[in-house]
A and B are shown apart, each in its own frame.
Chain A
Amino acid sequence: AQSVTQLDSQVPVFEEAPVELRCNYSSSVSVYLFWYVQYPNQGLQLLLKYLSGSTLVKGINGFEAEFNKSQTSFHLRKPSVHISDTAEYFCAVTRGGTYKYIFGTGTRLKVLA
């Protein structure tokens, strides 16, 4: 069985500062990893995904994440955040061939002016 841990429930950060949202997973099989963002009263929007290949993954809106198999981590980073990045961010894992995602509990990113 897989599981996902998002270590921070809330992360406040000032505008134009860098941010890292942490995600650790556990699985006995190879997995696919994802980061989704959710704005209030909206569905989930895919930020980026790791399926295979390069461990550094670049996504939309300037976000990137690094897959670290030895640390079983998939942390999300952005070098300079904007007010518009205020949202909830979810890390998810699944194994190949299925869309049964296991989600973390989410991290609320609040960007302060």
Chain B
Amino acid sequence: KAGVTQTPRYLIKTRGQQVTLSCSPISGHRSVSWYQQTPGQGLQFLFEYFSETQRNKGNFPGRFSGRQFSNSRSEMNVSTLELGDSALYLCASSNGQGGEAFFGQGTRLTVV
């Protein structure tokens, strides 16, 4: 069974640009959640989607948005990038019935 796939693995963007990150969950999983990991703030929850509906949202500005498609794939978008958005963005996939989430390798975003 293939794991969670995140693309791209690495990304360099300029301040003020926007970026879209993609996550393909494990086959059959309908829930996708996103996390930001930085050395200063640690692992912070961004959003959770289940069957194309946002179920939970973390405390991030409106520049951070996400969506989930009918095939459960998810994207997150960050507009007007700031230097502080440099982080490892992790996607996690689950069956939506409680229990554990399975994480992808992450996308390392660097904003210069």
Contact = CB atoms under 8 A, between A and B. Distances in A.
A100 B58 contact: yes
Given A43-B106, A44-B90, A106-B42, A101 B99 contact: no
A96 B97 CA distance: 9
B48 A100 contact: yes
Q: Interface residue tally of chain B, by bracket?
A: 20 to 34
Contacts, number: 59
B99 A32 contact: yes
Contact of B103 (A41, A45, A51): A45
A100 B98 contact: no
A113 B15 CA distance: 44
Nearest to A104: B42
Interface of B: 4, 6, 31, 33, 35, 42-45, 48, 55-56, 58, 90, 92, 94, 98-106, 108
